[in-house]
């Protein structure tokens, strides 16, 4: 295995503080939420944030999809510290300080763009059984500016140091121009750029931005629902997940030196991935359903485990195995949290 150096893995996204609590169906109905979904907060959800913090056993965790993934990757890698870099925007407030502290504790090299106009973003994770409905109030996360942060010499140097890049599709709603700059850099230098479909609404309402980035995507992640929505939006005319993966792999690509890899997770069902010209199914780690505490962060942690093996230049099968391991650990815990050390060999 190659020895890893600092800043090999670069992530950029929406840093959010997760506020998670167990709720009931009435709570979901009151705010018009589906049990298992991810949406952006609207005015009608203001009261939701006021109510969820009053629930008993409410928990606060550093979150945001990309930040979760790079944190899990760093946890899987352990040493050296700061293999993972993270960029995103926060507010100058208590929640922002918590995010800074949590990133430091996770040994992630976080460089936040800090501004005082908007407060640090939050995400309400409304848990019912093994479902989770996420409502993100981006606030500060929405204020990321390419020219105020990414373009600065010191920051761009950190981008250039990386070999693997990962950005969740959620960031397409914030700064598509930042994503394109990073994606083009990766493509031009034959480095690996990874993107996540993240949520059905990204394919539905941000399709133009998504498809602008797609030619630069070396590895695309998503779950079965996101894959189905993406296929529908692109007129693939199939709901067979293996076929969707294949058609997605064959979409136009800039850097032809690397064949695109498509990886779709399906909860407890097999993970589907394109391996060369074939589509292969990879069974997940068996788990007793009663051991599942919280599926929030399962997708993020799968990607984190995958990336930890990818930066160590492991083959695809190993990357998926690492992803399955980390997701299996995370769903037995509340929020996207992990024990002190992984037990992965």
To 5 degrees, how large is the angle CA 199–CA 36–CA 214? 10
Residue listed under structure tokens 């589509």: 279
What are 91's strand-pairing partners?
A: 115
In terms of DSSP H, where are the helices of 189-235? 200-205, 207-213, 224-233
Residue 267 to residues 47, 208, 264, Cα–Cα distance (Å)? 31, 28, 10
Candidates 130, 218, 294, 300; catalytic one: 300
Active site residue 300: yes
How many of the other CB atoms lie within 10 Å of CB of 32? 11
Spell out where 121-275 has E strands: 121-128, 131-137, 164-168, 192-196, 219-223, 261-266, 269-275
Q: How many of the other CB atoms lie within 10 Å of CB of 336? A: 27
Q: What's the CA gap between 330 and 275, in Å, rounded?
A: 26
Catalytic positions, written as ranges: 300
């Amino acid at each position: 295995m190659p020895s890893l150096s600092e800043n090999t893995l670069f992530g950029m996204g929406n840093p959010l503080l997760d506020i998670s609590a167990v709720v009931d169906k009435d709570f979901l109905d009151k705010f018009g939420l589906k049990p298992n979904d991810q949406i952006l907060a609207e005015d009608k959800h203001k009261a939701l944030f006021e109510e969820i913090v009053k629930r008993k056993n409410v928990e606060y965790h550093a979150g945001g999809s990309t930040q979760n993934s790079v944190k899990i990757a760093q946890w899987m890698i352990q040493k050296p510290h700061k293999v993972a870099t993270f960029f995103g925007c926060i507010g100058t407030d208590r929640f922002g300080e918590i995010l800074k502290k949590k990133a430091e504790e996770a040994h992630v090299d976080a460089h936040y763009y800090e501004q005082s106009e908007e407060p640090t973003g939050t995400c309400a994770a409304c848990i019912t059984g093994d479902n989770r409905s996420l409502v993100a109030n981006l606030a500060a996360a929405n204020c990321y500016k390419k020219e105020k942060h990414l373009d600065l010499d010191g920051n761009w140097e950190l981008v250039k140091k990386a070999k693997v890049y990962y950005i969740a599709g959620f960031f397409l709603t914030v700064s598509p121009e930042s994503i394109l700059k990073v994606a083009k850099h990766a493509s031009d230098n034959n480095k690996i750029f990874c993107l996540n479909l993240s949520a059905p609404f990204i394919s539905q309402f941000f399709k133009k931005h998504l498809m602008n980035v797609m030619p630069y995507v070396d590895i695309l992640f998503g779950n079965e629902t996101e894959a189905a929505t993406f296929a529908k939006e692109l007129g693939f005319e199939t709901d067979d997940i293996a076929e969707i993966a294949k058609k997605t792999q064959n979409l136009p690509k800039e850097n032809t030196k690397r064949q695109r890899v498509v990886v779709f997770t399906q909860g407890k069902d097999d993970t589907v991935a394109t391996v060369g010209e074939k589509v292969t199914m990879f069974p997940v780690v068996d788990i007793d359903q009663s051991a599942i505490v919280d599926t929030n962060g399962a997708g993020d942690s799968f990607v984190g485990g995958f990336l930890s093996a990818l930066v160590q230049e492991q083959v695809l099968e190993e990357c998926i195995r690492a992803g399955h391991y980390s997701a299996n650990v995370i769903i037995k815990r509340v929020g996207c949290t992990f024990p002190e050390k992984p037990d992965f060999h």
